[in-house]
Every structure is written in C-alpha cells, then in structure tokens.
Structure 1
Amino acid sequence: MNTKLKVVTIGGGSSYTPELVDGFIKRYAELPIDELWLVDVPEGEAKLAIIFDLCQRMITKAGIPMTLHKTLDRRAALQGASFVTTQLRVGQLQAREKDERIPLSHGLLGQETNGAGGLFKGLRTIPVIFDIIRDVEEICPDAWLINFTNPAGMVTEAVHRHTQFRRFIGVCNIPVGMQMFVRDALKVTAQDTLSIDIFGLNHLVFIGDVWVNGVSRFDELLEGVIDGSLTSSSSVKNIFDLPFDESLMRGLRLLPCSYLRYYFKEKEMLGIEMGEFYKGGARAQVVQKVEKTLFELYQNPELNEKPKELELRGGAYYSDAACEVISAIHNDKRSEQYVIVPHHGHVTNIPADWTVEMTCLVGRDGAIPHPRLTRFDDKVNGLIHLIKSFEIAASQAALSGSFDDLLLAMNLNPLIHSDNEAKIVARELLLAHREHLPKFATAIADLA
C-alpha cells in the first residue's frame, strides 16, 4: 500500500503550477500526496496567492484529501519533504526579455535556453539551485529533487559536476511531447507497449528508434514526417515550426526535437527573430501577455480546473514529465522515462562523467539509462560534444563569477560567432542582470 507523501514545489507561484497540480490529482490513486507546499519569493507573493486559491478549488473539486499550503519560508516548507520540485525563474519574465532582446540587438539569436540568453539564465539560476540543494541536504536529505527549471541541462550538469547531491533528476516536457507525437502518428493504443530511444542533451535530443510491441516502426515514422503525411515532430509553442530538409532527415535517419532548428536552421530562425525584434517584439513579451491573461482567468472564483489557455504558455505536458518521474520513484515502477541524469559510463562513445538526456528506467533508486542505449549516434556526436563543452564551461562560470570563464563559455557556444561580439554582449548582459548575479559583483564593478 502506498504511504502518504509531502511534496514541496519551489516556484509555486508559477503559471505552470495548475498543470502540475492537475497531474497530481489525476494520479492520486497511485501517488497519494498528503501535503503539497507551494513556495515562492516575496516578489512572487501576489501570484502565489492567486495560484494557491485556484489549486485549492481544483483539489476541492477532485474530492481528494490533499492539504495545500503556501509560504515564503522555504526552509519551513522543506521539513519532512519526500519530493521537491523546482520551477523557478530568477528575475522573472523581465529578465527573460533582456536575455532575448540584448543578443538580438547585436544580430544574435535571443532565446531563453540557447545561445547568450540561455547562458545568462543559467548564470542566474545555478547558484539559487545550489542554495536549495544545501537546504535539502540539511533539512530533508532523503528527498528527491526533480528540476524543471531551465536551462535544465546546464543546471543538471552543474549539480552533478560541482556537488555531492545525487538525488537530483532533470525533467523537460519536450521528450514527452515527442512521445505523444509518436503515439498519435503511429496510432499507438493504451493496450500497446511503446518504447522510444531518445538520446542527446536537454533541448538537443533525437529519436533514434521507436518500438511498438517489440517491433521497430521508425522507418514508417520517419518517412511519414518527411513526406508530410505526419505532422512535424514535437513542435512547441515557443519555436517557429519550420520543416527540416528532407535530405537532411534521410541522411540523419533520426528525428530531431524542435530546438535543433537553432542549429540546423540558424539563419532562418535568426531571420524570423530579427523580424520580430525590429517590430518591437520578443517571445518574452508574448509570454507576459499570455501570463497576464492566465492570471486573470485564474482569479475567476468559478474556475476549478486547469484552463485550456495554459497550453499557450509553452509548458504543455510538464505534469506528465514531472509527475510520472515522481510516481515511478515512489512506486518503484522501473518505467521508461526521458530524463536528464549522469550516465556513469553507460554510453560507451561519450565521456563517462557527462549528464545527458535519454531514455531511462526510473524506480526507487532513481534513473538508470535504458540497457538498449549504449551508444549515441556518431553522426550527431560532434554537435553533442560541442554543446556539452559549452554547458560544462557555463556551469564553471556560474560558480566562479569569473569574466574569463564567462567569455570562454560564450565563445564555445556555436550561436555566437566572434570573440569581440561575445565580449560586447557579455558586458551588456552582465550590467543588465547585475541584481541577480551576485557572484559576478567584482567583474561587474570592473566593467562599470
């Protein structure tokens, strides 16, 4: 019989939280959460109150005995926690807008998890995640920490490279979206057994094979995507849906996730973003409008379910990613999940100390890479190595606060093409984000 559980969600005032709570409600029979604590910072207190009220109405409608709490005191919330989820945004959406607009002002792709913008989101986020880990180690050391905060790959790499905390798993909704695409495209039913070989890094994953009832159906899937009879794989709300070239797809014999457009179609993606920028727009501004609408909806006292409009936010299937991992650990399911973890040498043709995003079997002891996936495809290993070198350098810079370490990370990123350009953009982003980059205080003082 399942025991009752306490879950703490840090960043509880996020517009995503109703998605998470909806996932917990749907799984209550297998994941009977007794206490759910929503934690936020003072700047997010007003949003936290709105989210709390909506989630309380959702729980009441579901008729389940889950007690909901809200607090600004993280350490108090962590007492006795079984699972901690993190979905925070340091500097909120105003910081994201800077991450996008400053690189675009220099003709570089501006994106919250890629390029210069993704780097600076990581620089702001990693020290905060480390603070949370220190609290977890002290207060609830047996808890698992499930991280959804972007850039999730960089954050997970930093945690496993620079701490001894090992009960940490990164999750992302992109592989779940890819899985749902496969189910729909191949008409996989609930009675069928589906297994997908997903491998790479966060926001840099590929589908290498698809197995339905033990039989590979990848060729059928690939040709359907190429000839257009099946819709484009795992497109998400925050990325323009440009089709990959069919010759590239046949040459790869892989299905890339949507974020690979930033590398295989950089010129086109930059052109689209620059057009939006010159019209005064950026994705962060779209998201802020969506969030404003969502929070207006959330305040409706008659609303007692996750609204359809939440899918416009770009985090669809988040609950399936986070809740399924938590349930798999709690119930020792050893079920197939797509997560970001160290592979410990399981993949033979990449360094043994890397964290990667791949198909794993998840149970009581965490995530173990799928026994079938012992190699990454050599055709894309060069790109994977390049981005991993960037992630490693970025995690080092986030902890050192060194301008030299920062510039190394900037120059290792393939979306930045000049060391002089890297220095100019780094200076502007450092000064723009100085409030949320305390480790860079000395470097920023030297620039000012």
Structure 2
Amino acid sequence: MSLKKQSIVVAGGGSTFTPGIIMMLLENLDKFPIRQIKFYDNDYDRQKQIADATEIILKERAPEIKFVATTDPEEAFTDIDFVMAHIRVGKYAMREKDEKIPLKYGVIGQETCGPGGIAYGMRSIGGVLELIDYMEEYSPDAWMLNYSNPAAIVAEATRKLRPNSKIINICDMPVGIEHRMAEILGLQSRKDMTVRYYGLNHFGWWTDIRDKDGNDLMPEIQKHVKQHGYVTPSELEGSSSEDVEESWMYTYGKAKEVYELDPKTLPNTYLKYYFYPQDEVEHSNPEYTRANEVMDHREKNVFSECNRIANIKTAEDAQLVTDDHASYIVDLARAIAYNTKERMLLIVPNKGSIVNFDPTAMVEVPCMVGSEGPEPLVMGEIPRFQKGLMEQQVAVEKLVVEAWEEGSYQKLWQAIILSKTVPNARVAKQILDDLIEANKEYWPELKKENQTETNKEPLTI
C-alpha cells in the first residue's frame, strides 16, 4: 500500500537547524513521502539564505517535491499536514543577553534554565501561540510538532492557553544522550534500547534501559557514567569523528557529578545547572558565552555552506548534515501520519502518568504515538528527591506563563527566585529589572501589584 504524501511547513525557515531537517526528510522519503515543503519565517533575508540552498538540494535530489519559502502566514499555513516549528524570538542577539545579564550578578546564564530560560520563555510564548493560530485558521486538521525552546515553558503555555490544539512539544536532548548511551554500550542505534524515563523538559532521569531481548543495560551505562559522565569511549581515546564544541564536552563530563546525586538512575545533563550552579558560573566567561560560541561556530558554518551552494548552483558536495532532533521529528511525524505506534519521549500533560505528581504539570515521559497523538505510559510513583525538585521547577514554569498572561511583575519575580539557580530575592529582582529593559521589544508590559489594594486595614469584627 502506498503511503500518503505529506505537506510540511517548517516554521523558522531561517534557523540553522532547518538544513538538517531537510536532509533528514530526504533520507526518509521511502518511509515519509513528501509532496510539498514550505518555509515560513518573519526574517526574509535570513530565511532566503537557507531557502536558496534548499531549493537547489531539492531540485537535485527530489525534484518532485514542491518548494515554497514565504513570510506570508496564509501562503505558508494553507494546505499543510504538519507544522515543524523551531522559532527563536529575538534570535541569538537576545540569547546572548539572556546569558550575560544573569552572569553580571553571579547567576548562571543559560538559554533554557534559570533567569535566561525564563526571559526566553517570555519571548517565545507569543510567537508559538501565533503559529498555532495560523495553523488552526488555514489548516485546522494539521499537527504542530514544536521544538521551540524553552520547551517546558512553551509546553505549559500551550496547555493552558491553547488546550485543544493539536500540538506536540518535543526535545532532542534525551535523544542526543541516548545516542551516547548506545555508543557506550557498543550498539548500532539508540533504537536498540527501550527506556523508561520521567521528569520535566531538561529535568529528568532514566530509570530503566533494556535491549530488545529484555536484558538490563543500566549497570553497564552507570559504570561508565560514574567514571566518565557521558563522554563516549571514542572521545576518551581521541578518535571520535564528531566535532563537539568545548562547552558540550564539559557538559557531558559534568554528568559524572550529577549522577552521584542518585546513582540508581541516569540523569539528564541539564540537571548540572540546578545541582551545581556555582560551578557553572565559575566555568562561564561573561564576555563569551554559549550564544557567542554558536554564532561563531554553527551559525557561520551553516550560512557559509548554504551561501556556497547557492553561488555554485549545486549541492553535489554539500557539507550539510542531519541533526539528532531531525530524525526524532521524522519518527514523530510518521507515527501520526501512518499510525505506527512508535514509542517516544514527549512532553505531555501528566494526567496520572506520574502517579504522585501534579496532573496538570507538563512532564516528559515515554508515549505510544499514533494517528490520535501521544498516549503517555504510566511511570508510577517517583521518589521524594525527584518529586521535590520537580514540584519547585513546575512552579517556576507555571508562574512564568501566568506572568505573561496577566502582565504580572510580581509573578515573574516569584518565578525567578523559585529557580534553584538564583541565590536570593534581591538578586532575582535586579536580574528581572535588567531583563525587562533588554526585552522591551518582546515581552508584554509587566505591572507591579497595587500596594494600596494589598495593604488594606483588616476588618473589625
């Protein structure tokens, strides 16, 4: 039986991750056939560089696929089956501020964790909601596969503010770590493993990993992580073919210390920001952060290669490669389009998957995915340590969304001080005030509570 050909819009067509998605889609046309690909972005010039190269790649490798790049929402979102969304409101210039403003006060600056992640979340909410509204207006039967960061805050915003929308929030970080686990074990693919995992986005733990025959793989991975973190054997030997940036190598090595907090599980690497925030500050250069590293490395490389392809009018020797998250997106789209019942880690409303946890929290757990969307698997009860950490972080995410919706300065201040990365309320307020100034163009106006209302005299009884 022939598979129905799909129509896709990549929202964030100017992203440096877009070429990797295109390459992955082309590699999987036998499993996920495509009739049309569209790019949508509000930055014409940035998108054009990616689109010009993509047009040449498609003409050479899949000329049957119709290609459109546009800044017009109606043109982009009409007649599509999937929205693959990875927008970055404010681009890397604002990410740089997210990272450097907290560092002024001795607090870690990071794009999804702590004050930086909160600032990015306040920018992202409106942009993602806008995409949902376009999709529902022009292609109401389509699904949005959203991997716009910070995924945890965006997921809570879509749950609360667009509760009936056909959107699935995903993250590629667990996928990337599972690739490393597979290499540690000597397996061909992370798909050779079946995992149990629970947590929040960038805030979770693997509790069980088995091969297809049911053999327990956890002890071997744990032994390696205890000694080396998630640095792979080939990297330890200096023979890895991957070009991994220095900041990521540090992160993979740091997992060794993160693991010590609960050696019965295996941690997501992002937990380092919450368990060892002072180490991250000490390791950071306030003049040259991860945003600068990305702009000097990934951004330059991708745009340079796309421009080269456009200039020579051929992609025969293109140096563009697929990304970890791109393969995950194709698997997810296939599961929905063809009801494959793929098992995947997704960010979904809890609703009892974690029995002793807030049912309205957006948790990251294994799900079975078919044409009706994700069906979360039950992970049972979780230990007090993880539960306490997660409850605090969920409160942060919910307060951010409430602050955005209500325009509340007070709730955003509360969200920042609740983050384990921030030492006290005074520092939280200083950071917040600086972030407000930096984000005037992007955030809703925030108003402080009316003190005359909250300080009324008590009633006489």
Once the two structures are TM-superposed, the CA of residue 64 in structure 1 deviates from its matched residue by 5.2
Task: Report SS of the residue matched to 2:308.
Answer: coil
What does 1:250-265 correspond to in 2, within 5 Å?
Answer: 251-265=262-276
Percent identical: 26
Structure 2 CA distance for partners of 1:109 and 1:3, relative to 1, 3 Å: same
Structure 2 CA distance for partners of 1:171 and 1:305, relative to 1, 3 Å: farther
Residue among 381, 386, 391 paired with 1:375: 381
Contact 1:5 1:33 in 2 (8 A): yes
Q: Distance in 2 between matches of 1:409 and 1:310?
A: 38
Q: Which amino acid aligns with 2:80?
A: A
Q: Distance in 2 between matches of 1:322 and 1:266?
A: 31
Q: Distance in 2 between matches of 1:247 and 1:384?
A: 16
Q: Distance in 1 between matches of 2:293 and 2:356?
A: 41
Q: Tell me the alpha carbon deviations over residues 246-304 of structure 1, each in whole angstroms, 9 at most, x when there is no partner.
A: 6953843111121111122222111011xx11xx2121111111212321221113562
Once the two structures are TM-superposed, the CA of residue 352 in structure 1 deviates from its matched residue by 1.3
Q: Distance in 2 between matches of 1:250 and 1:286?
A: 30
Once the two structures are TM-superposed, the CA of residue 35 in structure 1 deviates from its matched residue by 0.8
What does 1:159-170 correspond to in 2, within 5 Å?
Answer: 159-170=158-169
Once the two structures are TM-superposed, the CA of residue 182 in structure 1 deviates from its matched residue by 2.2
Match of 1:332 in 2: 339
Q: Tell me the alpha carbon deviations over residues 206-257 of structure 1, each in whole angstroms, 9 at most, x when there is no partner.
A: 1111010222221122112213497369998554334345695384311112
How many residues are paired up?
431
Structure 2 CA distance for partners of 1:119 and 1:250, relative to 1, 3 Å: closer
Q: Which amino acid aligns with 2:195?
A: I
Once the two structures are TM-superposed, the CA of residue 89 in structure 1 deviates from its matched residue by 0.9
Q: Distance in 2 between matches of 1:436 and 1:56?
A: 32
Match of 1:426 in 2: 432
Structure 2 CA distance for partners of 1:192 and 1:94, relative to 1, 3 Å: closer
Match of 2:308 in 1: 300
Match of 2:327 in 1: 320
Task: Report SS of the residue matched to 1:357.
Answer: strand
Q: Which amino acid aligns with 2:15?
A: S
Match of 1:35 in 2: 36
What does 1:365-404 correspond to in 2, within 5 Å?
Answer: 365-371=372-378, 373-404=379-410
Match of 1:66 in 2: 65
Contact 1:86 1:146 in 2 (8 A): yes
Once the two structures are TM-superposed, the CA of residue 435 in structure 1 deviates from its matched residue by 0.8
Structure 2 CA distance for partners of 1:76 and 1:254, relative to 1, 3 Å: same
Match of 1:345 in 2: 352
| TM-score in terms of structure 1 length | 0.90
Unaligned runs of 5+ in 1: 444-448
Task: Report SS of the residue matched to 1:208.
Answer: strand
Structure 2 CA distance for partners of 1:191 and 1:326, relative to 1, 3 Å: closer
Q: Does 1:110 align with 2:109?
A: yes
Structure 2 CA distance for partners of 1:304 and 1:165, relative to 1, 3 Å: farther
Q: Which amino acid aligns with 1:406?
A: L
Q: Which amino acid aligns with 2:91?
A: Q
Task: Report SS of the residue matched to 2:210.
Answer: strand
User: Bigger radius of gyration, 1 or 2?
Assistant: 2
Task: Report SS of the residue matched to 2:197.
Answer: strand
Q: Tell me the alpha carbon deviations over residues 375-412 of structure 1, each in whole angstroms, 9 at most, x when there is no partner.
A: 33443221111111111111111222211121111111
RMSD, aligned α-carbons: 2.5
Contact 1:112 1:121 in 2 (8 A): yes
Q: Distance in 2 between matches of 1:140 and 1:320?
A: 24
Q: Which amino acid aligns with 2:429?
A: K
Unaligned runs of 5+ in 2: 236-241, 449-461
What does 1:80-159 correspond to in 2, within 5 Å?
Answer: 80-159=79-158
Task: Report SS of the residue matched to 1:344.
Answer: coil
Q: Distance in 2 between matches of 1:400 and 1:305?
A: 52
Task: Report SS of the residue matched to 1:352.
Answer: coil
Once the two structures are TM-superposed, the CA of residue 166 in structure 1 deviates from its matched residue by 3.5
Contact 2:273 2:280 in 1 (8 A): yes
Q: Distance in 2 between matches of 1:306 and 1:174?
A: 29
Task: Report SS of the residue matched to 1:269.
Answer: helix
Once the two structures are TM-superposed, the CA of residue 124 in structure 1 deviates from its matched residue by 0.7
Structure 2 CA distance for partners of 1:204 and 1:70, relative to 1, 3 Å: same
Q: Distance in 1 between matches of 2:113 and 2:321?
A: 23
Task: Report SS of the residue matched to 2:204.
Answer: strand
Q: Distance in 2 between matches of 1:402 and 1:386?
A: 19
What does 1:156-305 correspond to in 2, within 5 Å?
Answer: 156-189=155-188, 193-213=192-212, 214-228=214-228, 231=231, 237=245, 238-239=247-248, 240-241=250-251, 242-245=253-256, 249=260, 251-273=262-284, 276-277=285-286, 280-290=287-297, 291-301=299-309, 302=312, 304=315
Task: Report SS of the residue matched to 1:337.
Answer: strand
Q: Distance in 2 between matches of 1:132 and 1:229?
A: 38
Task: Report SS of the residue matched to 1:216.
Answer: coil
Task: Report SS of the residue matched to 1:206.
Answer: strand
Contact 2:339 2:369 in 1 (8 A): yes
Q: Distance in 1 between matches of 2:392 and 2:84?
A: 29
Task: Report SS of the residue matched to 2:445.
Answer: helix
Structure 2 CA distance for partners of 1:267 and 1:230, relative to 1, 3 Å: closer
Task: Report SS of the residue matched to 1:210.
Answer: strand
Structure 2 CA distance for partners of 1:192 and 1:320, relative to 1, 3 Å: closer
Q: Distance in 1 between matches of 2:303 and 2:14?
A: 10
Once the two structures are TM-superposed, the CA of residue 370 in structure 1 deviates from its matched residue by 2.6
Structure 2 CA distance for partners of 1:305 and 1:129, relative to 1, 3 Å: farther
Task: Report SS of the residue matched to 1:243.
Answer: helix
Q: Distance in 1 between matches of 2:124 and 2:157?
A: 11
Q: Which amino acid aligns with 1:71?
A: T
Contact 2:23 2:321 in 1 (8 A): no
Match of 2:76 in 1: 77
Contact 2:181 2:190 in 1 (8 A): no
Match of 2:451 in 1: none
Contact 1:121 1:151 in 2 (8 A): yes
Q: Distance in 1 between matches of 2:324 and 2:376?
A: 22
Task: Report SS of the residue matched to 1:227.
Answer: helix
Q: Distance in 2 between matches of 1:425 and 1:246?
A: 28
